[in-house]
Structure 1
């Protein structure tokens, strides 16, 4: 039997659809019951008998730090996909991020060890991979993490979570780690998901930034995770990036598919530097949530390019183009919002 944590998130919901379509026996963890409707909605995108497929999932209410509930969820489990995570770049969320991403992953790993799980797949992020000093140099799985850099709180905790997974491999749990880029997919149009980018671009954005990053769609991510778990590959990590794109190019492609005007002005370094300081000040004086941290301001003007050759060679896979992915996600966005 398979256990999926974070089953109500973007990756988790699409992975669940993949698993039930493959006739796998699946149990999934959720934290709040109202989030289950998101999974049903995702299933409804892809087939008419979505309720029948959804009902094949055995749901368990559990928190990553509720060990007794997790022990119940692990009963009779052979394989684990650990997709649950907290995504935030707000510095004041650091301890909450640690609690969920690091301590929660440690609990999952401990239960994998004690239950002699056959294989674990952990969904990490390109945020947990180091950076090259030359922005034109490809970042690979071997690019070293530098703890002395001004890393975001999210990146720090995802890297810490990976360390827990590697600890588990030393204690007898075979594992694979995937490091997706910015994951494009439908059904989650608010919050920390990339779907929020489609919503913001559709509403109209004034500025674009000078940075770049790697992108991949959620269907490729879930498909590759499934193939890795079915393979003999263990104790490896893989960058999952279809294409590297500038933020400007991404905004223009999305704007075109949504039939809106793209941002025309590049945001200057001065505006960003002033912006994150004002954001910090308003959070201190008015108690507002952080929207632009120092690390995020740096990230959106940093050019990074990622190498996807390791995963392509490992399981002989090809990624869908980002153009097609954007068109597909935009189609679902317009259906959901019109």
Structure 2
């Protein structure tokens, strides 16, 4: 039996489809019935055959609640831990610690108790350290707790520490650190917002650089690594390092829309995130931009995926092709 947490999220839903191609015993955690419709929509991007979705045994539970999670591990040999709380709003820090660190602690403890053979954890490049000599960032770059890290970065690093503990208690582990994930089906969250904004005429861009990767190039290596003899390793998953300007332009071209034309400078976002923070304090509404999302929009971080390429001979899809496919799946009016 394969167990997938976060089965109704971007990575989890695409992972479930690819797992269903060759596996019949799949159990996935979900929170609400409405979230299952999103998974069905993701499956529809791949196939009209409903038998793939019907292979999944859906298990309703909260990963932070031990009693509810214990039955989910019955008969489980492989665990894909995709569940996470993603936010750059410091107001969400406590909840992120609860889900990302404490939730992972529970998954690890139950995996050890159930004698799970192998655990794959979806981390993030946010939990990878910076390069000290301006070379590409790789798996050997150590995360520095002394830096001004975002709450999300802190909690993903904390979750990784829990997973490494599993490797010391008899469970083989794989950690993947994807870049910004480009995928279809979740248009109001994560990178899906980039597509929605550009489609609706977003005019602004920044020139910060980071790593981008298609969701298919996250889940396929996960499955390959879990079915291999590789164990107790972490892998950065990035197809290409590109600027947000390049990404916005590719998305606009994919939609046949006008490219964003107004460059936003660091001092402008510095003013805007402070103003947004003040408005949020007064109204209680989540800020449009935060200190850390503003910082990431301008920072330059370039990543290497040589380790995963060399380990399983994996080739990533070019980012322009990934964006073209996502644009084709976008629900146009």
Q: TM-score range by the shorter chain?
A: over 0.9
- Look up the match of 1:239: 236
- Shift of residue 275 of structure 1? 0.8
- Look up the match of 1:151: 149
Q: Is 1:30 equivalent to 2:30 in the alignment?
A: yes
Conserved? CA contact 2:236–2:307, under 8 Å: yes
- Shift of residue 31 of structure 1? 0.8
In the aligned structure 1, how far is the partner of 2:68 from the partner of 2:156? 23
- Look up the match of 1:176: 174
- Shift of residue 337 of structure 1? 2.5
Q: Show structure 1 runs of 4+ deviating over 4 A.
A: none
Cα deviation per residue 1:210-269 (whole Å; 9 max; x = unaligned)? Answer: 201101101111111000000000100000000000110111111011111111121122
In the aligned structure 1, how far is the partner of 2:296 from the partner of 2:146? 16
Please point out which of 301, 304, 308 is paired with 2:301: 304
Q: Is 1:189 equivalent to 2:184 in the alignment?
A: no
Unaligned runs of 5+ in 2: none
Give the alignment's TM-score, normalised by structure 2.
Answer: 0.98
- Look up the match of 2:261: 264
In the aligned structure 1, how far is the partner of 2:217 from the partner of 2:328? 18
- Shift of residue 286 of structure 1? 1.9
- Look up the match of 2:332: 337
Conserved? CA contact 1:63–1:70, under 8 Å: yes
- Shift of residue 24 of structure 1? 3.8
- Shift of residue 146 of structure 1? 0.7
- Shift of residue 46 of structure 1? 1.2
- Shift of residue 13 of structure 1? 0.7
Conserved? CA contact 1:182–1:215, under 8 Å: yes
Conserved? CA contact 1:139–1:304, under 8 Å: yes
- Give the root-mean-square deviation of aligned CA atoms: 1.0
- Shift of residue 290 of structure 1? 2.2
- Look up the match of 1:101: 100
Q: Is 1:255 equivalent to 2:252 in the alignment?
A: yes
- Shift of residue 133 of structure 1? 4.5
Give the alignment's TM-score, normalised by structure 1.
Answer: 0.96
Cα deviation per residue 1:50-91 (whole Å; 9 max; x = unaligned)? Answer: x22111100000101111111011111011000000111100
In the aligned structure 2, how far is the partner of 1:206 from the partner of 1:257? 16
In the aligned structure 1, how far is the partner of 2:250 from the partner of 2:311? 30
- Shift of residue 208 of structure 1? 0.8
Conserved? CA contact 1:181–1:213, under 8 Å: yes
SS in 1 for 2:40: helix
SS in 2 for 1:292: coil
Larger mean Cα displacement after TM superposition, 276-285 or 154-163? 276-285
Conserved? CA contact 2:24–2:55, under 8 Å: no
Cα deviation per residue 1:18-61 (whole Å; 9 max; x = unaligned)? Answer: 11111341000001111001111111111121x22111100000
In the aligned structure 2, how far is the partner of 1:18 from the partner of 1:242? 19
Task: Count residues in correspondence.
Answer: 333
Cα deviation per residue 1:115-157 (whole Å; 9 max; x = unaligned)? Answer: 11000000000011111255x4200001111111111111111
- Look up the match of 1:79: 78
